[in-house]
Amino acid sequence: MIWSNGNLRWMFQFGFLCVMSLGLASSVSGSLSFEIHHRFSDQVKTVLGGHGLPEMGSLDYYKALVHRDRGRRLTSNNNQTTISFAQGNSTEEISFLHYANVTIGTPAQWFLVALDTGSDLFWLPCNCNSTCVRSMETDQGERIKLNIYNPSISTSSSKVSCNSTLCALRNRCISPLSDCPYRIRYLSPGSRSTGVLVEDVIHMSTEEGEARDARITFGCSETQLGLFQEAAVNGIMGLAMADIAVPNMLVKAGVASDSFSMCFGPNGKGTISFGDKGSSDQLETPLGGTISPLFYDVRITKFKVGKVTVETKFSAIFDSGTAVTWLLEPYYTALTTNFHLSVPDRRLPADVDSPFEFCYIITSTSDEEKLPSISFVMKGGAAYNIFSPILVFDTSDGSFQVYCLAVLKQDKADFNIIGRSFLLLLFQSTTSYDTF
């Protein structure tokens, strides 16, 4: 999810793509981890039910993914200790964002928090009225209550004043001792969260059950508008490169070392680990920092589609909160046209209701092995191979199946985004950066 530097490394690993980001320098060792599941995966439907949710892999499913994207903002060292959230590694995804079960405060309350490398602030619904999403319906018609953070109930909660170094809106404060306000806007029309900053405890633990709690600063969101009224969003954990982002605060608290990894696999499964340093045989490319010093953007020097190599130079953001890949012109046309010219199957008629431009009908002779491969060559020469650039689903009437190239033309922003569908690879990537 995009709003308003260093190195990217990757290695081959069976089953998952891991995106790792290194933060503040620290001598602390250890890692924090939890699993990530897609909202519409069988694991999540078992817990939350699938009432009213599009079938995973269907046309409606991918249409919903793209609808949400259109308005958006923007292998571990075996010696490391794995640390997870206190509630364990089980997670679910809500509204197409990967979610983790996070516990905050004293007494501890759980929240289904979206994980977003495209923003920096962690915020929870707090002291809000009708704008907060408070429940979710299961297949059986039961409603699961979602918690709302209340700083007056948590005995470990404290306010953040305007004289804090983390208070970005000091110019709106009446005095240095006033409560620090915050306001964060997303690319979704009218989507924003506003409130005040607070400090409280985030509960973590080792595999052996040893508590590893840390005090962090986050947003007490009194108002959530736009996207957050349409979906059951119970908070967002920004993971971008900023002092107020959770990874950096965990480092400062001495809970984790200066890194984290995110891994995405098929069927909505994945993991995230704070303090994960990866392995020494990973390749690397520098982060660009040309789009924003907060984002995980890389420099692409060329890309390959099948046997065709396109010499070009552009930057792109890796964003866990965007469902598919969005490319500006002329990169969009160069990639999609060369893909189309190498596809043997018949293209879907243009009048079929699909968010994707390049879709093809699956027949008895269709073979994914015959489709052109796609890879991005990064600055430094290392290749980023896309495991599967297509999405497969049934048509609305169920008469046949189609597959589509999971790339859309970027016309809502002035930057390229490598979305989650292109992160479903068989290798691990690692991002690191220096703090000045």
Catalytic residues: 116, 319
DSSP β-bridge partners for residue 111: 102
Q: In 3D, which of 269, 318, 315 has the Cα closest to residue 431? A: 318
How far is the C-alpha of 275 from the C-alpha of 187, rounded, in Å?
30
Retrieve residue 13's tokens: 């690993």
Nearest to 231 by CA among 323, 156, 167, 311: 323
Q: Which helix (H) or strand (E) holds 206?
A: strand 204-206
Which tokens sit at 56?
Answer: 């995973």
Closest CA relative to residue 244, chosen from 100, 73, 113, 123: 123
215 and 223 Cβ atoms separated by less than 8 Å: no
The answer to whether the beta carbons of residues 331 and 11 sit under 8 Å apart is no
Give the angle 109-113-118 at the CA atoms, nearest 5°: 150
Token couple for 329: 């012109």
Three-state DSSP at 420 gives helix
Nearest-angstrom CA–CA distance, 186 and 36: 23
Separation of alpha carbons 158 and 234, rounded Å: 21
The conformation of residue 211, written as its DSSP 8-state character, comes to: B
Q: 157 with 151: CB under 8 angstroms?
A: yes
| Alpha carbons 292 and 103: distance in angstroms, whole number | 30
As given in the structure block, the two tokens for residue 44 are: 């999540």
What's phi and psi for 429, nearest 5 deg? -115, 150
Closest CA to 95 of 220, 227, 218, 237: 227
Q: Which residues, in sequence order, are bridge partners of residue 223?
A: 194
- Listed in order, strand segments (DSSP E) in 265-307 are 270-274, 283-286, 297-305
Q: In the 8-state DSSP scheme, what is residue 342?
A: T
Beta strands in 290-382 (DSSP E): 297-305, 308-318, 325-327, 359-361, 374-378
d(CA 401, CA 236): 35
Structure token pair of residue 337? 């046209």
